[in-house]
């Protein structure tokens, strides 16, 4: 009998659901195993749930029986896709668990930067009474959502409550609910030039690497606010810093960076017009429950059809 090996410590009730979803495979959790014991279990796995350094090591071994790897995160840019493809392993991810938490974080940044809440908090820490000379309003403004997937569309839905003009950018250019007008990636600069807020929800792929660079910041409005919750590598950090320092854009809300953790000496830390969070906008107590729903659907389909059905990575698209 084949095995499902999990590197994530699911609780007793969750383990029972996993076993019931795919009774033809034994279930093993290597959480708490020693390195050698964990490696031995992973080497014999037909299905692996989760990703860590031990999984990275075994997929470069020869003769492993692995058929399917279920990543419990949404991003797959840290996983060697070409190696999995060469092995004939199906890769799935947990995209769809993030819309609520991340869209709320996006608007927390957007509203803080608009209403100067971030500055008020810094003044409070210094016990300084210093009213703002002027503050903006988000109502009626134009927001561009780069990457109109589940997170982007939930953000668009919230934006509609602020009577915002919502522009979307997606590879297909196909219309979507809550987005007033959708564009293709080739029309990116046209979208940026119109927008008061730019929200980057893009995955990191060969096509999106440094997609937002000097040319893109140059076409943005001087009053624009740039928010990145997708992947740090989609933005040219040097170009971003220059745009902020030269006041070519008004501010930025950043949860992801090209180098993580962000080094202590990095200039972004000291910029008054920047909000930094440590890659945590997806943090929610409901994360694993939502991810498990995807896992269980995939396990049931795998048990019946020999392959998962949800969130299968497209090797060419790289997500």
* 251 domain-assigned: yes
Are 49 and 114 found together in one domain?
no
Render each residue's pLDDT in the chain as its tens digit; 319 residues: 799 999 999 999 999 999 999 999 999 999 999 999 999 999 999 999 999 999 999 999 999 999 999 999 999 999 999 999 999 999 999 999 999 999 999 999 999 999 999 999 999 999 999 999 999 999 999 999 999 999 999 999 999 999 999 999 999 999 999 999 999 999 999 999 999 999 999 999 999 999 999 999 999 999 999 999 999 999 999 999 999 999 999 999 999 999 999 999 999 999 999 999 999 999 999 999 999 999 999 999 999 999 999 999 999 999 9
- For residue 313, being part of any structural domain is answered with no
Range(s) of the domain holding residue 187: 99-276
Q: Are residues 137 and 249 in the same domain?
A: yes
Query: Based on the domain organization, do 153 and 64 belong to the same domain?
Result: no
DSSP E strands in the chain: the ranges are 3-6, 26-29, 47-49, 68-70, 90-92, 142-146, 165-169, 181-183, 197-200, 225-228, 251-254, 274-276
Q: What is the CATH number of the domain that holds 248?
A: 3.40.50.720
Number of structural domains, the chain? 2
204 belongs to a structural domain? yes
User: Do residue 159 and residue 232 come from a single domain?
Assistant: yes
Same domain assignment for residues 129 and 272: yes
Q: Quick one: 109 and 84 in the same domain?
A: no
Q: Identify whether 140 is part of a domain.
A: yes
**Co-location of 111 and 255 in the same domain:** yes
Catalytic residue among 186, 260, 272, 280: 260
Catalytic annotation, pick one of 39, 210, 266, 279: 279
Using the 8-state DSSP alphabet, how is residue 312 labeled? B
Domain assignment of residue 164, yes or no: yes
- Shared domain for 146 and 197, answered yes or no, is yes
The residue from 231, 247, 258, 310 that is catalytic is 231
- Are 213 and 90 in the same domain? no
Is the alpha carbon torsion for 29, 31, 32, 36 positive or negative? positive
**What 8-state DSSP symbol labels residue 126?**
T
Same domain, yes or no: 92 and 105: no
Establish if 311 belongs to a structural domain.
no
C-beta separation of 50 from 42 below 8 A: no
Residues 85 and 112 in one domain: no
Is 290 catalytic? The answer is: no
**35, part of any domain:** yes
Task: Say whether 39 is catalytic.
Answer: no
Residues 6+ apart with CB under 8 A from 112: 118, 253, 275
Residues 195 and 111 in one domain: yes
**DSSP, res 204:** P
To the query of whether residue 60 is one of the catalytic residues in this protein, the response is no
């Amino acid at each position: 009998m084949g095995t499902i090996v999990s590197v994530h410590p699911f609780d007793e009730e969750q383990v029972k659901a996993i076993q019931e979803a795919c009774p033809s495979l034994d279930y093993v959790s290597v959480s708490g195993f020693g390195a050698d014991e964990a490696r031995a279990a992973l080497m014999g796995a037909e299905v692996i749930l989760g990703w860590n350094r031990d999984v990275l090591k075994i997929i470069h071994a020869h003769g492993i029986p692995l058929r399917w790897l279920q990543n419990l995160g949404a991003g797959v840019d840290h996983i060697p896709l070409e190696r999995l493809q060469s092995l004939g392993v199906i890769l799935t991810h947990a995209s769809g668990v993030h819309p609520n938490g991340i869209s709320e974080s996006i608007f927390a940044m957007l509203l803080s930067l608009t209403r100067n809440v971030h500055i008020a908090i810094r003044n409070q820490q210094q016990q300084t009474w210093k009213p703002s000379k002027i503050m903006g309003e988000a109502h009626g403004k134009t927001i561009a959502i780069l990457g109109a997937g589940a997170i982007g569309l939930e953000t668009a839905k919230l934006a509609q409550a602020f009577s915002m003009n919502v522009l979307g950018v997606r590879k297909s250019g196909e219309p979507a609910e809550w987005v007033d007008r959708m564009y293709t990636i080739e029309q990116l600069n046209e979208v940026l030039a119109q927008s008061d807020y730019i929200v980057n929800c893009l995955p990191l792929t060969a096509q999106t690497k440094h997609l937002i660079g000097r040319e893109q910041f140059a076409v943005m409005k001087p009053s624009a606010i740039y928010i990145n919750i997708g992947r740090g590598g989609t933005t040219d950090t040097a170009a971003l810093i220059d745009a902020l320092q030269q006041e070519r854009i008004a501010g930025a809300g950043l949860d992801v960076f090209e180098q993580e953790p962000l080094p202590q000496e990095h200039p972004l830390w000291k910029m008054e017009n920047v909000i930094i969070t440590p890659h945590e906008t997806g943090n929610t107590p409901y994360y694993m429950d939502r991810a498990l729903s995807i896992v269980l659907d995939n396990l049931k389909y795998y048990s019946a059809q020999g392959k998962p059905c949800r969130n299968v990575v497209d090797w060419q698209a790289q997500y």
